[in-house]
Amino acid sequence: MIELESARARVLEGCAALTPVRVDLAEACGLVLAETVVADQLLPPFANTAVDGYAIRAADAAGATHGSPVRLAVVETIAAGAASSRVLGAGEAMQIMTGAPIPAGADAVVMVEDTNAAGHGELVEIRRSVLAGDAVRPAGDDVHPGDRLFLPGEVLSPAHVGVLASLGRLDVLVHPRVRVGVISTGDELVEGPVPLQPGQIRDSNRITLLALVDAAGATGVDLGLVRDDEELIRQAFVAAAATCDAIISSGGVSMGEFDFVKRVLDEVGQMNWMQVAIRPAKPLAFGTIDGTPVFGLPGNPVSSMVSFELFARPGLRRLAGHHDEELVRNSLRAVTGEPFPRSPDGKTHFVRVVAANVEGRYVVRSAGGQGSHQLAVMAAANALVVLPDGDGVPAGHEVALLLLG
Ligand code: AMP
Ligand code: MG
């Protein structure tokens, strides 16, 4: 058996970040930046008002209160998107809307709630004094030319694409969204509401893995259900390698007699067949076909999910350009709410649990049976407890936790 970390290192070696491409901002959120974004302009581009109100000279309203307001002459109205060409003089005010440029000569804005229109709109009563700069957002308050805003490896968030749009950018250089072909193999598998013949079960891995691929920020490509037929399996993998950035298959990597997946992958690709010291998900095949990474995950539904979490997800994140420190989910500390017994077997166990946040710390209880076929238990679980080799742990013990989803 090979240790988890060594197996994962082999996987990551075969997964290099995809070549950067330019994508429209509308498609960029969630992708990993592949350029340094340096500002070439001020944001905001001009000084503007933070409130609806009146632009004034603060000195003109010194001492103004509700009881003794100061009256100023309203000489213009400036809407957002407009600008005043005149200079505000002493004793004057300009009505101004949020975001509109501060007129020359003004140094503060009084919010409309602290004013009263008078003299049929020709006058305004200022009912509160302000300081120079009040409610004024200076040009460059957010960004200056030359600011190094974003660095390669940053994940673009909604705010990131908003800043890029503010700078006038229409596209951005990123690592592309990873296209992942997902294949199920096995003669026992059928789909949909058809009556099951003896020995048949329904394919659940493909839909589950496609969902996991999507949740990992990649795009799943459904490559269907392939029979245990050498030629069909060969065609499916070769076509997938030609059209996808990565391939995930499930089934056929254990020791079954009719598993042609192993024979085919050895023929068309360079594969590592591993027995990882973990439970579930001991068997793992990883390699490449013409440079395209291939993850051969075990067929048991829970095993394929755990294997995806521990190997495929980090590999896909690497293809997507994520930094090395951000490939594997951070493990949290949790406390066992009940005993977690196990027997020594040389493996690290990943126990399906329900983790509840109790006053700021996670308390974990088993989600149910721990068989690698018990997918409904996986559905009830929200986390995996990492149980090191040994005799298990009592209630009240600290354990490492991987929060899923
Ligand atoms: P294998 O890895 O092919 O030996 O399969 C191990 C177990 O997983 C068997 O019980 C299979 O029937 C089951 N299995 C394989 N592929 C799938 C699938 N796509 N959906 C659900 N169960 C599967
Ligand atoms: Mg099989």
C-alpha 385/C-alpha 350 separation (Å) is: 5
C-alpha 296/C-alpha 164 separation (Å) is: 39
186 in contact with ligand 1, CB cutoff 6 A? yes
Phi-psi group of 229: left, alpha or beta (phi > 0 → left; psi -120 to 50 → alpha; rest → beta):
beta
C-alpha 2/C-alpha 181 separation (Å) is: 27
Q: What is the pLDDT of residue 359?
A: 94
283 in contact with ligand 1, CB cutoff 6 A? no
Q: Which helix (H) or strand (E) holds 354?
A: strand 348-358
Q: What is the pLDDT of residue 255?
A: 73
CB-based contact 177:320 (threshold 8 Å) = yes
Query: Which residue owns the Cα nearest ligand 1 atom 23?
Result: 299
C-alpha 14/C-alpha 357 separation (Å) is: 37
Model confidence at 81, in pLDDT bands (50, 70, 90)? very high
For residue 259, pLDDT beyond 80: no
Give burial (CB, 10 Å; 0-12/13-18/19+) of 244. buried
Q: pLDDT tens digit string along 317-334? A: 999 999 999 999 999 999
Give burial (CB, 10 Å; 0-12/13-18/19+) of 394. exposed
Ligand 1 centroid to Cα of residue 204, in Å, is 9
Ligand 1 centroid to Cα of residue 284, in Å, is 14
Q: Looking at the CA of 297, name the nearest ligand.
A: 1
Query: Which residue owns the Cα nearest ligand 1 atom 16?
Result: 299
Q: Which atom from ligand 1 is nearest to the alpha carbon of 203?
A: 20
C-alpha 131/C-alpha 124 separation (Å) is: 18
CB-based contact 156:29 (threshold 8 Å) = yes
Q: Check residues 258 and 288 and name the one with the higher pLDDT.
A: 288
Radius of gyration of the chain (CA): 31
184 in contact with ligand 1, CB cutoff 6 A? yes
Average pLDDT over residues 14-35: 98
Provide the strand spans (E) within 132-255.
136-137, 148-150, 171-175, 179-185, 189-190, 201-202, 219-226, 246-250
> What whole-number percentage of the chain has pLDDT above 90?
96
Ligand 2 centroid to Cα of residue 160, in Å, is 45
For residue 304, pLDDT beyond 80: yes
Q: Which amino acid is at 79?
A: A
Number of C-beta neighbours around residue 157 at 10 A: 11
Using the CB atoms, write b or e for 332-367: b if 16+ within 10 Å. eebbbbeebebeeeebbbbbbbbbeeeeeebbbbbb
Ligand 1: residue of 200, 253, 300, 302 to mutate (most ligand atoms within 8 A of CB) is: 300
Average pLDDT over residues 257-276: 91
300 in contact with ligand 1, CB cutoff 6 A? yes
Q: pLDDT tens digit string along 133-164? A: 999 999 999 999 999 999 999 999 999 999 99
Q: Which amino acid is at 401?
A: L
Model confidence at 405, in pLDDT bands (50, 70, 90)? confident
Q: Which amino acid is at 135?
A: A
Ligand 1: residue of 197, 212, 225, 250 to mutate (most ligand atoms within 8 A of CB) is: 250
Q: Which atom from ligand 1 is nearest to the alpha carbon of 204?
A: 20
Q: What is the pLDDT of residue 257?
A: 63
Q: Looking at the CA of 253, name the nearest ligand.
A: 1
> What whole-number percentage of the chain has pLDDT above 70?
99
- Is the CA virtual torsion 1, 351, 281, 9 positive or negative? negative
122 closest CA partner among 79, 92, 85: 92
Q: In the 8-state DSSP scheme, what is residue 88?
A: P
Ligand 1: residue of 187, 204, 205 to mutate (most ligand atoms within 8 A of CB) is: 205
Ligand 1 centroid to Cα of residue 374, in Å, is 12
Number of Cα atoms under 13 Å in the Cβ half of residue 31: 27
Q: Which amino acid is at 304?
A: S
Ligand 1 centroid to Cα of residue 258, in Å, is 12
Residue 217 token pair = 């920020």
Q: pLDDT tens digit string along 194-207? A: 999 999 999 999 99
Ligand 1 centroid to Cα of residue 316, in Å, is 23
Q: How far is CA 300 from the centre of its chain?
A: 28
Ligand 2 centroid to Cα of residue 100, in Å, is 67
Number of C-beta neighbours around residue 324 at 10 A: 11
Query: Which residue owns the Cα nearest ligand 1 atom 6?
Result: 299
Give burial (CB, 10 Å; 0-12/13-18/19+) of 328. middle
Could you list which residues have their CB under 5 Å from ion ligand 2? 186, 251-252, 299
C-alpha 186/C-alpha 225 separation (Å) is: 8
Three-state SS at 289: strand
C-alpha 143/C-alpha 161 separation (Å) is: 15
Q: Looking at the CA of 296, name the nearest ligand.
A: 1
Ligand 1 centroid to Cα of residue 373, in Å, is 9
Q: pLDDT tens digit string along 351-394? A: 999 999 999 999 999 999 999 999 999 999 999 999 999 999 99
Average pLDDT over residues 115-125: 94
Residue 251 token pair = 């089934």
Q: Which atom from ligand 1 is nearest to the alpha carbon of 206?
A: 19
Ligand 2 centroid to Cα of residue 255, in Å, is 9
